[in-house]
Amino acid sequence: MPTFAHWKLILVLFVGILTGCATQQQTPPPKSVTHQIGYQADSKLAQYFDQSEYDTSIYTGFYPLDKGHDALLARIVLIESAEHSLDLQYYIYRDDATGNLMTWRLFEAAERGVRVRILLDDMQKRNDDNLAYLHSHLNIDVRLFNPNNYRSARGLGILADFERLNSRMHNKSLTADSVASVVGGRNIGNEYFSYHSPVEFGDFDLLIYGNTVEQTGEQFDKYWNSDFAVPIDWITSSATELKREEVEQFVVDEELEEQFTSGAYDMTRLQFYSKMREHKLQLYWGEGKLLYDRPNKIVGEGSQLIDDLQLILEGVDSELIIISPYFVPTADGTALLVDGVKSGKKVTIITNSLASNDVYAVHGWYSKYRKDLLQGGVELWEVKASANIKSKWSMTGSGHSSLHAKIMLIDDHILFVGSMNWDPRSAHINTEMAVILDHKAFVTESKSEIQAQLIESAYKLEIEDGDLVWRDLENGETLTSEPDASVWRRMGSWMAGILPIEDQL
């Protein structure tokens, strides 16, 4: 049997291996500090959205992006229309068709003189040399947030520095000319934009104009200039110069233009495209505010967003609807929701079923609280994996669907949309952001549409003779076990539920 001395030697050797995997760097030069350029009144985007009816120091104009193709097109429109600046901040940015399309258009923007700042969380493994290649453009600056020091052995790096690397930047935003932004739940990747993916995430973003755009820029600058945002050329120095002819050849080889201007995914045939081109995009207007965590949350500062949200939830008068793909309320959260019902409020939760949840460990812990929630009067719905909704406020898409939108509707007039899930990770570990808006007509209409969609696309959970049942109100069936979930998925969820990992979910 190994002695303590043997284990100590093994540990020393293990740390030595990790040290050898780390990228060796010289002391980096001082990092440049840059800021949003402020509202560009002379830009095409400002001329498009400008109006005189509302005070944009208080009000936000917003347009819901519930369909994946509209959400992608909105981002492309902002990129192609930008004349001064583009700021992007994402947790996931995939190297796939939609990601490559956006990167190509960002390159074209930089070529015409637009300053492009790209801030990506470093949880997703990417090719550092490719990022540095993009960064080599005079007008493109790429930074990684809270990077792993072990570039070629990332898994081992996480083991060596788990406490730091476990905290991630989950914020998602794109801002053009400090005039308009897209914020919400979507990352960048085919599955988020309904494009050729075996699993389609039903997600939700807002195209915004007005006071919350400046606030979005302020939060971006805080992250961009923080100590946790590391320029990619500090991480790798092997980049070659970015050349237009090489980019153009890549576009031809990947058929990027053809993929999105012909066939089933021709963006020029979308109704949203016509509305933008013909200046017929009608914004909803309401008082708005951006809520967000500070970058120092990843080193234990606490969640500013949660503090702000707590004040808002304490003011709920009659109704709260929570739409969250990853819903782990914890014992304390469950008690608070039940207390809300006891005080006369209607509380509705919409989340993934086991079959539609892409992280079954989350379901393993969420399922522990279902009976307590139902017995306490909370209304609980789980989205079907086969849901197929085409209308506004689409919670899922076609094929195998998975809810990914993060939304709250409060009383009859408050809309909350952002990156935050209702789980311990969003509350205590990752940084998050959300926009909150006051618009009675939009919220009232949306609640009505959601209720109609739930009948078709979700199971209503109830307790019958002491056991949990799933009501399919579309066909009248009652199911007594997790719908559409395989035995293996059920076993995996159950096993995850007995592991002490709730605070990490």
- Which backbone phi and psi does 84 adopt, to 5 degrees? -130, -50
Torsion, CA 344, CA 314, CA 458, CA 364, rounded to 10: -110
Q: Collapsing DSSP states into helix, strand and coil, what is residue 490?
A: helix
pLDDT of 309-337, one tens digit each?
Answer: 999 999 999 999 999 999 999 999 999 99
At 194 the pLDDT is 86
Q: Which domains does the chain have, with CATH numbers?
A: 59-277 (3.30.870.10), 288-504 (3.30.870.10)
CB burial readout 218-254, b (16+ within 10 A) else e: ebbbebbbbebbbbbbbbbeebeebeeeebeeebeee
Q: How far is CA 83 from the centre of its chain?
A: 26
Average pLDDT over residues 352-367: 93
* Predicted confidence (pLDDT) at residue 60 exceeds the cutoff of 80: yes
- Is 406 among the residues known to form the active site? yes
The residue from 406, 423, 438, 439 that is catalytic is 406
What tokens were used for 227? 């100590």
Please give the mean pLDDT across all residues of the chain. Answer: 90
The residue from 84, 170, 363, 384 that is catalytic is 170
The residue from 67, 135, 137, 172 that is catalytic is 172
* Predicted confidence (pLDDT) at residue 399 exceeds the cutoff of 90: no
The answer to whether 430 touches 354, Cβ cutoff 8 Å, is no
pLDDT of 451-476, one tens digit each?
Answer: 999 999 999 999 999 999 999 999 99
Measured CA to CA, the distance from residue 303 to residue 317 in angstroms comes to 24
- Is 404 among the residues known to form the active site? yes
The residue from 203, 411, 423, 438 that is catalytic is 411
Measured CA to CA, the distance from residue 383 to residue 400 in angstroms comes to 11
Q: Which residue has the higher pLDDT, 217 or 402?
A: 217
The answer to whether 413 touches 440, Cβ cutoff 8 Å, is yes
What tokens were used for 82? 């930008």
Strands 180-184 and 173-176: antiparallel
pLDDT of 141-198, one tens digit each?
Answer: 999 999 999 988 888 989 999 999 999 999 999 999 999 999 999 999 999 998 887 7
Residue 17's pLDDT band (cuts 50, 70, 90): very low
* Predicted confidence (pLDDT) at residue 391 exceeds the cutoff of 90: no
The residue from 121, 177, 205, 438 that is catalytic is 177
- Is 460 among the residues known to form the active site? no
Which one, of 162, 230, 150, 126, lies nearest residue 429 by Cα? 162
The residue from 137, 363, 404, 439 that is catalytic is 404
pLDDT of 114-147, one tens digit each?
Answer: 999 999 999 998 999 999 999 999 999 999 999 9
